[in-house]
């Protein structure tokens, strides 16, 4: 079974952390993964830097720009992660945009993910129909989960299509804005979380965008299986050593 599915079966609310590979410095990628697992994170989302990250707010955009300036590339990321499964057991997901993957070669990219032990991909700009027609069989053959996003603007019909084609979890975007833009969840967003929960989808949902502390994590996971924290963690890394990651995790879990 894929590690993501095994983790989703756990009787707990899941904490997933996003960070940009190659940030703050080029060689931080593996150290960050080790520290996150050591401090109880359930899943890790590794950001593949891209020059035009449409879904990301200024914090993650800035980290992506810095990582590219540091010299991070797809090839280097795979090189850094080649032995990661010797020491790390939790699910690892690569979040990136379609263009760099296409430039690398989609089949080659997915094969490399499989060899390294990556469990899934989040590709915000990969259309559902293109995935289904051209890549679904490739992902299934390599036991890679493709994770789709839904937003408050996603229609019930579209949600049903995404739920039908998915086989791990659905990334539930908390609002229509880019990442890092929220100061907390109001009644409208919490009603949205509840509305999605009442659809009784076959795939659990993990909430992203706007989670930054214990309060927002608790709000996001009242009706959903877990939450992803990205911008707040990137902000922390900007001014704190990797060795202090335990301090950040404590602000979420207690």
Which of 56, 62, 107, 247 is an active site residue?
Answer: 56
Q: Residue 31 class from Cβ within 10 Å (0-12 exposed, 13-18 middle, 19+ buried)?
A: middle
Stated as kind and residue range, the H or E segment containing 120 is: strand 120-122
Active site annotation includes 52: no
In three state form, how does the secondary structure of 69-107 look?
HHCCCHHHHHHHHCCHHHCCCCCEEEECCHHHHHHHCHH
Which of 28, 35, 37, 45 is an active site residue?
Answer: 45
User: What is the Rg, in whole angstroms, of the alpha carbon atoms belonging to the chain?
Assistant: 17
Closest CA to 204 of 31, 18, 8, 62: 8
Q: Residue 29 class from Cβ within 10 Å (0-12 exposed, 13-18 middle, 19+ buried)?
A: buried
Active site annotation includes 45: yes
The residues that are catalytic are: 45, 56
């Amino acid at each position: 079974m894929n590690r993501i599915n095994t983790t989703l079966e756990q009787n707990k609310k899941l904490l997933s952390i996003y960070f940009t590979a190659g940030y703050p410095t080029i060689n931080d990628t593996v150290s960050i993964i080790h520290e996150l697992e050591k401090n109880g994170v359930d899943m890790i989302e590794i950001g593949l830097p891209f020059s035009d990250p449409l879904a990301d707010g200024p914090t993650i955009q800035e980290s992506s720009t810095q990582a590219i300036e540091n010299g991070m590339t797809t090839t280097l990321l795979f090189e850094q992660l080649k032995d990661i499964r010797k020491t790390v057991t939790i699910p690892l997901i690569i979040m990136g945009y379609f263009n760099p993957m296409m430039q690398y070669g989609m089949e080659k990219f997915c094969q490399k993910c499989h060899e390294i032990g990556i469990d899934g991909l989040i590709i915000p700009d990969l259309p559902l129909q293109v995935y289904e027609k051209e890549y679904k069989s490739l992902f299934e053959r390599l036991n890679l989960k493709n994770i789709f996003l839904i937003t408050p603007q996603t229609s019930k019909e579209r949600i049903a299509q995404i739920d039908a084609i998915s086989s791990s979890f659905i990334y539930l975007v908390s609002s229509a804005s880019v990442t890092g833009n929220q100061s907390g969840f109001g009644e409208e967003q919490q009603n949205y979380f509840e509305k999605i929960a009442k659809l009784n989808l076959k795939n659990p949902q993990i909430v992203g965008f706007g989670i930054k502390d214990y309060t927002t994590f608790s709000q996001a996971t009242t009706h959903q299986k877990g939450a992803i924290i990205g911008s707040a963690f990137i902000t922390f890394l900007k001014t704190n050593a990797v060795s202090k990651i335990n301090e950040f995790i404590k602000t979420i879990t207690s």
